[in-house]
Amino acid sequence: MTVRSFSDGEEALATVTIIGGGLAGSEAAWQAAAQGAEVLLYEMRPLKMTPAHVSGQLAELVCSNSLGSDLPDRAAGLLKAELRQLGSLLLACADETRVPAGGALAVDRQRFAEEVTRRITSHPRIRLIRAEVTAIPSGPTVIATGPLTSDALAAAIAELTGQEHLYFYDALAPIVTVESIDMSVAFRASRYGTGEADYINCPMTREEYERFVEALVTAERIPLREFEREDSRFFEACLPIEVLAARGRDALAFGPLRPVGLTDPRTGKRPYAVVQLRQDNLAGTLYNIVGFQTNLRYSEQERVFRMIPGLEHAEFVRYGQMHRNTFINAPLLLEPTMAFRKRPDLFFAGQITGVEGYVGSIGSGWVAGVNAARIAQGYHPVTLPPTTMLGALCHYISRADPASFQPMKANFGLLPELDPPVPNKRRRYQAYVARALEHLAQFLSDTRTGADQ
């Protein structure tokens, strides 16, 4: 995995084709170019839009603007630390465009996409082509078309793999302007008073909560389309707020609206429930309603969500929605290198592989991009140590039980046990992190010296 630098006029060794300019595809393109390959990056937007995207920018975030925890002793934090050590482009762009979010890494979504697009389009070995790809190309290729792969390419993938696609639902939370939030009711705070007061909290009494839940579960929803009715499974982490509320009167109060660690400054007491809003852009003018993915009609969202104390006059700049995501049955099809088992020069990356979340997608793009370039240049692909979080994710999606395979996010349960075991949970997580970063450093040292070639 030796990184090469090229002088002016010197040709790269090979060409890699990458389909999809989302998080995974953008990272794959950058890493393949860093390995010395010429990269053809295809992105169909804005010529052909998806149901969720609103621009033609690369790496557009269509759901939350948060990339998850950045704390060093969390699984998501470890994955970010690994990607920074691996020289991830998208983590660098996220760090440059981050907005306050407590211990999480959240970004100004517009500036983030603009920065990724700027860097990709200015790279001398990356050519961005605005066109839809409807067939799988020959030669070293990365498919990173994401959960909203176009129908034509999805059909080509289905023909190639011989496998039916699986579906789950992903979510976009509503976004409101900060100036439309009534701060005489809402208040800024983080749970238990830790860190900065990065969240806006809308407190509810029991009566307000029960009226809200009743309105929520009886509100009119957008009818499912035919293919959605035929396969209406919801991915548990992305349940619509109204579906979760219908599970029981206090399902929300013990779930996304739990009030623990918060005190209403008006009463000096803990509210019965709290709706939290998180900053969505660097200027701090937009906030998204945390956990409020929904399938309600837009008019119903305004009516019901304005029942939340402090949001009575909320100005919605984006409504929540649900959309179908597509992923392949990776354990039957992929190696931990992200290579397709029946065609070693074809790689998959991103949510289409079954990795969950933004950072998992970025990581899989790193692996696919590096390995596609290596194959193009006549080298063996590399496999990250399974003791690293990224290596463990790649191992999981390629080795899980195909019969029960579901998307997976970074978590310490994926890592091999410690030897000797560490009984204390906090110390165990710290030991996982220390081992992962040590093994990753050794991996990088070995590959830079050519020990893997």
The whole-number average pLDDT for the span 382-397 is 96
State the maximum Cα–Cα separation within the chain, in Å, rounded to a whole number: 72
Question: Domain limits of the chain?
Answer: 15-165+328-448, 172-324
State residue 407's pLDDT score: 79
Question: Rounded distance, CA 241 to CA 247, Å?
Answer: 10
Q: Assign 260 to helix, strand or coil.
A: coil
The three state secondary structure string of 351-391 is HHHCECCHHHHHHHHHHHHHHHHHHHCCCCCCCCCCCCHHH
Question: Rounded distance, CA 110 to CA 281, Å?
Answer: 8
The whole-number average pLDDT for the span 413-439 is 93
The model's pLDDT over 351-372, given as tens digits with 9 standing for 90+, comes to 999 898 899 999 999 999 999 9
Torsion of CA 325, 328, 334, 338, to 10 degrees: -20
State residue 384's pLDDT score: 98
The whole-number average pLDDT for the span 208-213 is 98
**CATH classification (class only), 15-165+328-448:** alpha beta
Torsions phi, psi for 270 (to 5 deg)? -75, 130
The model's pLDDT over 113-125, given as tens digits with 9 standing for 90+, comes to 999 999 999 999 9
DSSP letters spanning 391-442: HHHHHHHHHS-GGG---B---GGGSPPPSS---SHHHHHHHHHHHHHHHHHH
Percentage, residues of the chain above pLDDT 90: 73
Consecutive H or E run containing 85: helix 75-85
Q: Assign 444 to helix, strand or coil.
A: helix
Res 8 pLDDT > 60: no
The whole-number average pLDDT for the span 214-223 is 93
Decide if domain 172-324 falls under CATH 1.10.3720.10.
no
Residue 194 neighbours by CB under 8 Å, 6+ apart: 102
Among 275, 213, 272, which Cα is nearest to 244's? 213
Residue 394 tokens read as: 């790649």
Res 209 pLDDT > 60: yes
Could you give the count of Cα atoms lying within 13 Å of 88 in the half-sphere of its Cβ? 30
Torsions phi, psi for 387 (to 5 deg)? -80, -10
State residue 344's pLDDT score: 97
The whole-number average pLDDT for the span 43-72 is 91
Question: Rounded distance, CA 202 to CA 306, Å?
Answer: 11
Beta strands in 145-249 (DSSP E): 166-172, 175-177, 187-189, 199-204
pLDDT band at 6 (very low <50, low <70, confident <90, very high): very low
DSSP assigned state of 131: -
State residue 191's pLDDT score: 84
Residue 141 tokens read as: 């290729």
Q: Identify the residue with better confidence: 192 or 108.
A: 108
Res 341 pLDDT > 60: yes
State residue 321's pLDDT score: 81
State residue 163's pLDDT score: 62
What is the number of other CB atoms lying within 10 angstroms of the CB of residue 415? Answer: 24
The model's pLDDT over 122-166, given as tens digits with 9 standing for 90+, comes to 999 999 999 999 999 999 999 999 888 888 998 899 999 986 655
State residue 403's pLDDT score: 78
Mean pLDDT in the chain?
90
Res 3 pLDDT > 50: no
- Do you know the residue count of the chain? 453
pLDDT band at 169 (very low <50, low <70, confident <90, very high): low
Question: Rounded distance, CA 238 to CA 389, Å?
Answer: 23
Question: Rounded distance, CA 263 to CA 164, Å?
Answer: 49
